[in-house]
Structure 1
């Protein structure tokens, strides 16, 4: 008995000399899920808040925050408030990678949320897989985040492949266009849109009549414009950011070249409209992955709720398609947390997301996931620039008649 007591004393002294507190060691063992305490769930968000794509990040974040503030005011989820740690990556892939490492290793967040951009998000993907940490609600339609499906990557929006396929189908079948070019950002984002357009055209036995590109972070679009103008393309599919796309359109009009311009949703409707201008004669179309953000009396309409909550929490801000997408990201995040229950783990959260079936967010918005389905929405909505705003558009036959009348 005396020997046993002596051994215990020696062990305690050894721990003390090593600077170890037995209570701290026990606390480390019982620490539980990273980023989850009795009162908080901490998330990490790396997105562009400055630079040439800063509008996209700020709008995504404001939309998400509007819903999260609403939830937190009502006690959070199972008694826990949601906290979003935010870091600006300026749409720079290495910075996004560093931010992600900081979130996982230093901050030990529960999940990653609302990342913005293809080149940035893809750069962080290996860390996501290694850490087995959920990444939910990215503002990018990149195919690399969808195929092959990753257990930890949860997309809300439709893909660029779906956007470009729908656009090419309207151009070819409804408008009868045969000469379609592609203007793209020379990186993972632009390549993804280029490939999506090529695949879409291939289904009609066609290929781009020209390809023009520019370097991310610049407005050097003249070379790409020259290539495309010489091809006499009737339509230009644009995979870029709002600054470069607006400059391409404005220069094109100045030079007397006015094909149909089409951009994917990532470009940002409100910012592109402002930069092109109200008086522009250009025919500019944009696909959207969410419906228009307009007021509604339907309490189950997410678009209407976004407008109301944005006005409540950020009255100086203006509703946008990008902001609504961030709002929907937050809604699905919260629904997953609710279904996961109070005993929250990362794997439990993933399973909870997989259980979401036919979850309605309003007219035309239904979310479904599964073990091999990591994308919630599939619908594509089209808009057309008119008097300085992108408005919902469906009258392809009428537009075709107008085009023919101008020839």
Structure 2
């Protein structure tokens, strides 16, 4: 609704010479706002997410955009800190008057902007989070293009309990909304199998102070640890555990960034990471092939799951926008996005979905 009257008044210009002739303006550019971590210990995640989206949008704009409208992706750094995300969001909504918010990164950061989302009714599209409230809060307008954290947790508990036969499982949790969300899911899923965490330890967001938690987990004699956090503290924990003689299997959710996490691990112990997109090096669908062709034009950009997710977010947004009126229509975009997984052949092929189904799958990566 913000700026809608102004936009409507600019759709056509009328010039009067005896008769009225109306000359349609060029379509208004589509302005998207993205707040993500471009600095701090989680910056590799935000940088890759931004780069993936830009790869697609740049090539889209070079080829005429969306019905002649260019996509203008405004990106601000929040360092994965909620206070900065709130400031960035206010700027996007009230000063830049963006059409939508796009690919915001992180559960604690997005949780902090819920009042702004509710008040402004600005859409949040493809957030980089699997939090429950992004699926259940009817007061905000959101579209998710990733499996939920509950789905990722279910895959991890299936792996640890059913496949690896662990019964003594510890939780190493980032102490914020992200950690709380996963702790709740993991605990609930363990309970469904008659188990409970052997110990729950926590560490502060954007820190790598893992030693106290490691001592507690070692004392618990856990044979497996479910890790919830970003790549730096998780890698440090696994490496220090190896040095301290802890022998365990590990799991992590997709948010950690598997490429960054695996690159930092020196341990030979097994780590399974749940993913929300298929392996961009190995998948064979049309979207995978197009992604590899497009990224080949950017030799300095590192290909990984996060880059691919950012790219897919841009692809899916653009597919929906192509089906809507020339000038941005918020409700039309949301309506088209809601049907995408059920009816878009490219996405059904990518995620191996049956026609009419839209439950997104969970994939896996391993340390070896």
Q: Quick check: TM above 0.5?
A: yes
Q: How far is the alpha carbon of 1:28 from its aligned partner? A: 7.8
Instruction: Assess if the C-alpha contact under 8 Å between 2:26 and 2:68 holds in 1.
Output: no
Specify the alignment match of 2:16 in structure 1.
none
2:279 to 292, 298, 309: 292
Query: Counterpart in 2 of 1:143?
Result: 132
| Alpha-carbon contact 1:358-1:368 (below 8 Å) kept | no
Q: State the alpha-carbon separation in 1 of the partners of residues 29 and 105 from structure 2.
A: 24
Cα pair 1:340 1:349 within 8 Å, conserved: yes
Structure-2 separation of matches of 1:345 and 1:207: 48
Alignment of 1:127-166 (within 5 A): 127-149=116-138, 152-166=141-155
SS in 2 for 1:236: strand
304, 321, 325: which one aligns with 1:341: 325
Match of 1:85 in 2: 74
Does the Cα contact within 8 Å between 2:27 and 2:67 map onto a contact in 1? Answer: no
SS of equivalent to 1:340: coil
Q: 1:281 aligns with which of 250, 268, 272?
A: 268
1:268 matched to 2:237: no
- In structure 2, do the counterparts of structure 1 residues 128 and 151 end up closer, same or farther at CA, with 3 Å as the change threshold? closer
Q: What SS is found at the alignment partner of 1:355? A: helix
Q: Which runs of 5+ in 1 are unaligned?
A: 1-25, 387-407
Whether 2:304 is the aligned partner of 1:305: answer no
2:360 paired residue number: 378
Corresponding residue number in structure 2 for 1:30: 9
Return the alpha-carbon distance in structure 2 between the equivalents of residues 346 and 316 of structure 1: 35
User: Corresponding residue for 2:192?
Assistant: 203
Tell me by how many angstroms 1:266 deviates: 0.6
Match of 1:365 in 2: 351
Report the TM-score, using the length of structure 1 for normalisation.
0.81
- Structure 2 residue 44 is matched with structure 1 residue 65: no
Larger Rg: 1
> For the Cα contact (< 8 Å) 1:151–1:350, is it kept in 2?
no
Cα distance in 1, alignment partners of residues 249 and 164 from structure 2 = 10
Matching of residue 325 in structure 1 with residue 309 in structure 2:
yes
The runs of 5 or more residues in structure 2 that have no matched partner are: 12-24
Distance, in Å, in 1 between the alignment partners of 2:29 and 2:355 is 26
Deviation at 1:363, TM superposition (A): 4.0
CA distance in 1, matches of 2:200, 2:165: 20
**TM-score, normalised on structure 2?**
0.89
Distance 1:269 1:328 in 2: 17
Instruction: State the number of aligned residues.
Output: 349
Q: Is the 8 A contact 2:287 2:350 kept in 1?
A: no
CA distance in 1, matches of 2:54, 2:231: 23
